[in-house]
Amino acid sequence: MNIRFSGFGGQGIILSGVILGWAAVLDGKNAIQTQSYGSSARGGSCKCDVIIQESAIYELEPEHNDILITFSQPSYNAFIKSLKEGGHLFYDSDLVTVDTNEFPCNSIPATDIAFKEFKQKIYANMLMLGFLAEKIRFIGFRAIEKSISQYVPTKTIEMNIAAFRMGIDLAK
């Protein structure tokens, strides 16, 4: 399964991918995570890819994705082409306008909810991760929560997990 997170730098895109990838490993699967960085992480679109498989992973850069998660219009525009036929699209409904109906779409106004519920936009990524995890049940919630608690600053673990769980609820 190839998953791409995308958006602006500073939206926690890469962290989402790392958390998901590590969760997959904790869940006994194989996973690799890659990201785009450097100058393009400042201005334009930023992306983070995760490949999760039962078998050994030999592909390094997937040509097509099964899932695309996007938090900005420019990144949506840039990456929508990479989504496989039948792939799933997740996006922040406040920040992205979708101009195709080729794909099953799942959206929440994650950033807005995060700001309203947790006082900080930065929790949008965990909201979305929960939303994704519930919609596509491929990694155990436990593993994801464990992964979250290992990757976010200790003081924010609780909030992040709360956001993650709210994402799950929103998907139900």
Partner 1 sequence: MENKYVKYLRNETLPTEFCVGCGCGTVLNLFCHVIDEMQINPDDIITVTGIGCSSWIPSPYFSADTLHTTHGRAIAFATGVKVMKPGKHVIVIAGDGDLAGIGGNHLIHAARRNIGLTVFLVNNYIYGMTGGQVSPTTPSTVNTATTPYGNVEQPMQIAELVAAAGASYVARWTTYHVFHLKKAMKEAISKKGFSFIEICSQCPTSYGKRVGKREGIDQLLDFKENSMNIQNVSGMREDELEGKYIVGKLVERNRLEFVDGLLNINAQFAEGVR
Partner 2 sequence: MGIKRKKIEIEIDERLCKGCDICVILCSEKVFTISKKINSNGYYVPIPSNIENCNGCLICELICPELAVILEKTELDELVAL
Partner 3 sequence: MNNQKYLDSLKNKTLFLQGDEAAAYGALFAGCNFFAGYPITPASEIAELMSRELPKSGGYYIQMEDEIASIGAVIGAVWSGGKSMTATSGPGFSLMQENIGYACMTESPCVIVDVQRSGPSTGQATKGAQGDVLQARWGTHGDHEMIALSPWSSQESFDLMIEAFNLSEKYRNPVIFLLDGEVGHIREKVVFPDINELNIYQRNISLEKIDVFGGQRIPPMIEFGMGQRIHVTGSTHKSNGMRDVSSMEAHDTLIRRIYDKISSNRNEIAHFETHYIDNMDYLAVSYGAAARPTMGAVLKLRERGIKIGFLRLITIWPFPIDICTELGKRTKKIFVPEMNLGQVSREIERFVNCPVESVSKIGGISHTIDEITNYISANI
Site stretch for partner 2 (CB under 8 A), options 59-67, 68-76, 137-145, 159-167: 68-76
149 interface partner picked from partner 2, partner 3, partner 1, none, CB below 5 to 8 A per type? none
The answer to whether residue 153 forms part of the interface with partner 1 (CB under 8 A) is no
Instruction: Select from 3, 13, 15, 32 the one that contacts partner 3 (CB under 8 A).
Output: 32
**Residue 3 CA to chain centroid, in angstroms?**
8
Task: Give CA–CA dist 22/104, Å, rounded.
Answer: 26
The answer to whether residue 72 forms part of the interface with partner 2 (CB under 8 A) is yes
42 interface partner picked from partner 3, partner 1, partner 2, none, CB below 5 to 8 A per type? partner 1
> Binding mask 50-79 vs partner 3 (x if CB under 8 A, - otherwise)?
-------xxxxx-x----------------
Site stretch for partner 3 (CB under 8 A), options 26-34, 65-73, 94-102, 111-119: 26-34
Instruction: Select from 8, 76, 123, 131 the one that contacts partner 2 (CB under 8 A).
Output: 8
Residues near partner 2 (CB under 8 A) are: 8, 72-74, 95
